[in-house]
């Protein structure tokens, strides 16, 4: 273990002891150790084309054909991803009583699989699909197996995995057949808040209530470039709460941060958990 990781872990443990009602905000960095790629580099810039926009998805059949054809390949990686040490360490912090609420910008449900219970999926969940007209819901894997049998040629293709269950496939998508809502023939869409859409207000309010009951914010593995996450750091700062960040790169909230550790997430979180466990035993 390098000094910097040990020191960051110690410092983070001290921060958590002083602020034991954490409002934790997580982003893509928490899931990259699970093999799920992210969109941005250490400077917070796009390192690949930005994801689909909500308005384009709803307006264009061609966009939806491309989306679902690529997802047929890419979603397997999301489904098969395993929880990382970072997910487990955050679940351990909750079990030790240090987490008031964990708000994640990830849609992979890996926090829940690691054992975290107080979780808000701010941007929704990729494993469910909903009808944009009647609200009918179905599991994503059921829709995928249906579409795989409707499109055997596409189902047999392979391509590199991309963030959010996407794949780097470029071909003619115009023949791809999409499953429509079995109840009303409406447009089916993953229950994920796309770029250009807004977080449902009830969910945003639940996250806000958690913030009001917390005594500090800890952002983990997020560049905070997306406004829906950044706004909570800005609100916390306005409320006088300390805002700390553990991530590899810069964040949009750097100017607001009271503590910042630019270090690999999993070893620092694991180090912090073991420090806290040792102190509990002392």
DSSP, collapsed to helix, strand or coil, labels residue 251 as: coil
199 binds Zn ion (CB under 5 A): no
> What is the closest distance, in whole angstroms, from the C-beta atom of residue 150 to Zn ion in the complex?
18
Which of 25, 131, 147, 211 lies at the binding interface for Zn ion (CB under 5 A)?
131
**Whether the Cβ atoms of residue 229 and residue 27 lie closer than 8 Å to each other:** yes
Minimum Å gap between C-beta 130 and Zn ion is 9
Geometric angle at alpha carbon 198, from 197 and 199, rounded to 5°: 130
Contacting Zn ion (CB under 5 A), which of 18, 47, 153, 183? Answer: 183
Q: Is the Cβ–Cβ distance between 99 and 87 less than 8 Å? A: no
Q: Is 195 in the site for Zn ion (CB under 5 A)?
A: no
Per the annotation, the verdict on 111 as an active-site residue is no
Q: Is 184 near Zn ion (CB under 5 A)?
A: yes
Choose between 87 and 144: whose C-beta lies nearer to Zn ion.
144
Q: Which is nearer to Zn ion, 69 or 181 (CB)?
A: 181
Q: Which stretch binds Zn ion (CB under 5 A): 34-42, 69-77, 127-135, 205-213?
A: 127-135
C-beta of 121: minimal distance to Zn ion in Å?
A: 22
124: phi > 0 → left, psi -120 to 50 → alpha, else beta; which? left
Work out the burial of residue 224: count CB atoms within 10 Å of its CB; fewer than 13 is exposed, 13-18 middle, 19 or more buried: buried
Catalytic residue among 19, 87, 111, 123: 123
For residue 105, which of 188, 23, 193 has the smallest C-alpha distance? 193
Work out how close the CB of 189 gets to Zn ion at its nearest, in angstroms, rounded to a whole number.
Answer: 11
Residue 275 annotated as lining a ligand binding site: no
Can you tell me which residue has the tokens 């071909």?
171
SS3 at position 259:
strand
Under a CB-based contact definition with an 8 Å cutoff, are residues 19 and 242 in contact?
yes
Sign of CA dihedral 257, 22, 120, 201: negative
Based on the shown chain and the rule CB under 5 A, indicate whether residue 187 belongs to the binding site for Zn ion. Answer: no
Residue 181 assigned to a binding site: yes
Closer by beta carbon to Zn ion, 136 or else 195? 136
Of positions 134, 142, 205, 239, contacts Zn ion by CB under 5 A: 134
Q: Which is nearer to Zn ion, 25 or 181 (CB)?
A: 181
* Euclidean distance between CA atoms 3 and 277, whole angstroms: 20
Order of strands across the sheet that contains 216-220: 119-121, 99-104, 22-26, 216-220, 243-247, 259-262
Q: How far is the CB of 175 from Zn ion (least distance, A)?
A: 24
Q: Is 208 a binder of Zn ion (CB under 5 A)?
A: no
Return residues touching Zn ion (CB under 5 A). Answer: 131, 133-134, 136, 181, 183-184, 186
Which residues are known to be catalytic? 123
- Binding-site positions for Zn(2+) read 131, 134, 181, 184
């Amino acid at each position: 273990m390098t000094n910097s990781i040990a020191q960051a872990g110690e410092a983070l443990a001290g921060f958590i002891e002083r602020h034991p009602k954490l409002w934790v905000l997580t982003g893509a960095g928490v899931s990259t150790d699970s093999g799920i790629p992210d969109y941005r580099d250490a400077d917070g810039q796009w390192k690949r084309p930005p994801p689909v926009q909500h308005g384009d998805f709803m307006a264009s059949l061609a966009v939806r054909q491309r989306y679902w054809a690529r997802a047929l390949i890419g979603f397997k990686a999301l489904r098969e991803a395993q929880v990382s040490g970072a997910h487990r360490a955050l679940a351990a912090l909750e079990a030790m009583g240090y987490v008031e609420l964990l708000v994640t910008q990830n849609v992979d449900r890996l926090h829940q699989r690691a054992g975290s219970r107080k979780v808000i999926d701010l941007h929704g969940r990729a494993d469910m699909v909903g009808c944009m007209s009647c609200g009918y819901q179905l599991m994503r894997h059921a829709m995928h197996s249906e579409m795989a049998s409707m499109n055997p040629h596409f189902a047999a293709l392979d391509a590199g995995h991309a963030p959010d269950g996407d794949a780097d496939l470029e071909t003619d998508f115009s023949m791809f057949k999409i499953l429509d809502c079995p109840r009303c023939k409406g447009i089916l869409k993953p229950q994920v808040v796309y770029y250009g859409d807004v977080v449902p207000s009830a969910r945003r309010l639940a996250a806000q209530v958690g913030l009001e009951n917390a005594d500090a914010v800890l952002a983990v593995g997020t560049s905070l470039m997306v406004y829906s996450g950044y706004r909570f750091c800005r609100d916390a700062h306005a409320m006088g709460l300390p805002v700390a960040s553990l991530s590899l790169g810069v964040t949009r909230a750097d100017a607001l941060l009271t503590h910042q550790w630019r270090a690999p997430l999993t070893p620092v979180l694991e180090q912090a958990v073991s420090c806290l466990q040792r102190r509990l035993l002392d």
